[in-house]
Amino acid sequence: MAERDFYKVLGVPRTATDSEIRKAYRNLARKYHPDKNPGNAQAEEKFKAVSHASDVLLNKKKRALYDEFGETGLKEGFNADAFRQYRRGGGVGGAHTVTDFEDLLSGLRGAGGRAGGFGGFQDFMGGETVQELFRRGARQQRSRAADVVSEITLGFVEAMRGGEREIQLGIPGEPGPRQLKVRIPAGVKDGGQIRLRGQGLEGGDAVLKIHVEEHPLFAREGDDLLLSLPVTVGEAYFGAKVPVATLDGEVSLSVPKGAKSGSKLRLRGKGVPKAEGAGDLIVTLMVRLPEARDEEVDKLVRALEERYQGNVRGDIKL
């Protein structure tokens, strides 16, 4: 396979700084991104090429190996010291020019695994057998696995009820976002996390940090939901059955006679869903006066005012 010049791919000199490489990558990635070039296979290949080139050149270890050995130095299991020894010994047969990793292995096998004082395939691979090499490669693959952290915003009701959501997850080094279906567990909390196994970088996990939007009427307190419910003067004085919205649908709430503003009523099992059952819905009654302001209302309110006995704030003391 022909060697690629990653510096030429990005259009930067071999002395380019990290900031110059990043700038070149951003410009080219923007130019060749699949979203801007739908159906253009050539642009897609160029996008992959600039992404791979920047991944190598922005990694100090990879860049050093590439500068010394070319793409051969980036191959899995490459032993730099053994390769330097091989080159000093003149290669297989004393005159073999290595242009690719497979060329070297082919030369070693053809020479019976020994040439110029060099010990052959196992020496080149650090004394490992092929089976050991593959096992070590698998371990290295796992060690490179990394979690990818992203964020997801849920509506209040969506977070309480749970369900499925389709998301786009960007993975470093991949040309475009992954389309994933995410199961939202019922009752997920603001600041909680959803872990998607194996959807991260090179086999790591994707971790979604949860942000739950506030609701204009409902609030959450532990496993309970809180609601301030307006009631009329008549409903509070005479008592009444009033409709209340819950996650399971509308239910009827009994307001007791003589209920005061600030009184709390509890609807059991109508709060936040959990593994077993659900929390409660705690309703705080808020007595609301009529919005109309006219002589008739003024007369009724004055008549009501005359019915109070004593100072309604008389018990408030420090």
Tell me the pLDDT tens digit for each residue of 10-43: 999 999 999 999 999 989 988 988 878 888 889 8
Assign a CATH topology to domain 218-305: HSP40/DNAj peptide-binding domain (2.60.260)
pTM above 0.75, yes or no: no
Superfamily the domain 148-212 falls into: Urease metallochaperone UreE, N-terminal domain (2.60.260.20)
More confident residue, 180 or 78: 180
Q: How many CB atoms lie within 10 A of CB 87?
A: 16
Superfamily the domain 6-143 falls into: DnaJ domain (1.10.287.110)
pLDDT of 242 reads 95
More confident residue, 178 or 97: 178
Specify the domain boundaries for CATH 2.60.260.20 within the chain: 148-212, 218-305
Specify the domain boundaries for CATH 1.10.287.110 within the chain: 6-143
Range with lowest mean pLDDT among 63-67, 90-94, 268-272: 90-94
pLDDT of 99 reads 44
Q: What is the mean pLDDT of residues 212-241?
A: 94
pLDDT in tens, 132-178: 544 554 454 444 567 888 899 999 999 999 999 898 888 877 888 88
